[in-house]
């Protein structure tokens, strides 16, 4: 999995290429913990299947999706 960060003022875009799974999730978690300082708007550019996982687990009620 590759993560590319693109920061523009308070907006951060994370381009995620490859699979997020048990082995790669810690890497994404580490990026999230360090890169979100001062960020008020986060964009995740990833496979559309990720959206469906957010729906099943109810995170579409917690987060705002555009």
Residues at the contact surface with another protein, assessed by CB under 8 A: 21-23, 49, 52-53, 55-58, 61-62
Structure tokens of 22?
């048990």
CB nearer another protein, residue 9 or residue 21: 21
CB nearer another protein, residue 8 or residue 22: 22
Residue the block writes with tokens 């550019």: 45
Structure tokens of 56?
């099943």
CB nearer another protein, residue 38 or residue 58: 58
Are 33 and 63 in contact by the 8 Å Cβ rule? The answer is: no
Are 12 and 39 in contact by the 8 Å Cβ rule? The answer is: yes
Nearest approach in angstroms of CB 64 to another protein is: 12
């Amino acid at each position: 999995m590759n993560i590319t960060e693109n920061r523009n003022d308070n907006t951060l875009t994370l381009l995620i290429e490859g699979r997020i799974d048990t082995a790669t999730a810690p890497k994404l978690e580490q990026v999230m913990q360090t890169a979100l300082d001062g960020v008020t708007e986060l964009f995740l550019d990833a496979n559309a299947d990720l959206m469906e996982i957010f729906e099943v687990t109810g995170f579409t009620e917690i987060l705002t999706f555009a």
